Amino acid sequence: MTTTVLLLVPTDATPDHLAVDLAQLMLRRGCRVVVIGTDVAVLLDAVRGYGAARAAAVVGDHRDPAARTALVTTAQACFGSVDLVVDPMGEAHDDTAPQVAALAA
């Protein structure tokens, strides 16, 4: 079974390459990846080289609780259920998915 990963792309001071590197790593390992963030250029870089069957970009501010639910619903529409949410900033998102991987200390 292919793992579907939802990657929340930081919108502040975190280097953009972090999200791009994480997305590309997960895609190379065979995951399906949905990236959510506000910077279209970063989102497109994160999924570059992979088609719609493996990668998707959703534009929106995942930090806004009102928008987050709609964004996650859109992400789920891409590939079905989400197996893992990766948040490089380590924020708590109790309504996004059963597992959240916080990568920042």
pTM of the model: 0.80
In angstroms, rounded to a whole number, what is the distance separating the alpha carbons of residues 75 and 90?
A: 20
Q: What is the pLDDT of residues 6-42, one digit of tens each?
A: 888 876 655 567 888 889 999 999 999 999 998 898 8
Residue 89's domain comprises: 4-102
In angstroms, rounded to a whole number, what is the distance separating the alpha carbons of residues 95 and 92?
A: 9
What is the domain count for the chain? Answer: 1
Q: What is the pLDDT of residues 34-90, one digit of tens each?
A: 999 988 988 999 999 999 999 999 998 888 888 888 888 888 899 988 888 888 766
- The CATH number covering residue 81 comes to 3.40.50.720
